[in-house]
Amino acid sequence: MLKISELSAQTGLSAHTLRFYEKHGLINASTRSEAGYRFYSEADVRRVEFVKTARNSGFSLEDIAQLLSIRVDKQSHSCQDVTDITQKKLDQVNAKIEELQSIQQTLEILLESCCGGPENASHCSIMEALDEGLTRDQARSESQ
């Protein structure tokens, strides 16, 4: 049985974060000392590691709550239940990547257009492009 600081050391999650996860129903200490100190069993540790791994995989805490409810009763859920959550998350990630790539492209075009030198910015082409609303080259990006 581990105390919260020991679990923290073992998982790399702060004690604050562990309590926060508990408050949100993700994890729990299966026992408490008389004084109320949390004590974590091996099964508790595995659950916390699951949460950590899912977090590192990009799942939100809400996603993880769903995954955990599947985890405790795998018989009552299908593989499709799991892939649905995973696919939805992948779709979100892909959408965000596309959004950022559009911004990336805009910024690259801006940087290419400007000398970046020590001359004053009176005719800086980045400033001009921002003033003109990303006309011309940024037509594609702008439509996003």
Partner DNA sequence: TATAAGCTTAGAGTTGGCTCTAAGGTCAAC
Partner DNA sequence: GTTGACCTTAGAGCCAACTCTAAGCTTATA
List the one residue out of 104, 105, 113 whose CA is nearest residue 132: 113
Measured from the CB atom, the residue of 57 and 78 that comes closer to DNA is 57
Using CB under 8 A, list all residues that contact its own copies.
Answer: 46, 49-50, 52-54, 56-58, 67, 70-71, 74-83, 86-87, 89-90, 93-94, 96-97, 100-101, 103-104, 106-108, 110-111, 114-122, 124, 126-127, 130-131, 133-134, 141-142
Output the smallest distance, CB 99 to DNA, in A. Answer: 14
Distance CA 79, CA 81 (A): 5
Measured from the CB atom, the residue of 16 and 123 that comes closer to DNA is 16
* 25 touches 65 (CB < 8 A): yes
* 11 touches 52 (CB < 8 A): yes
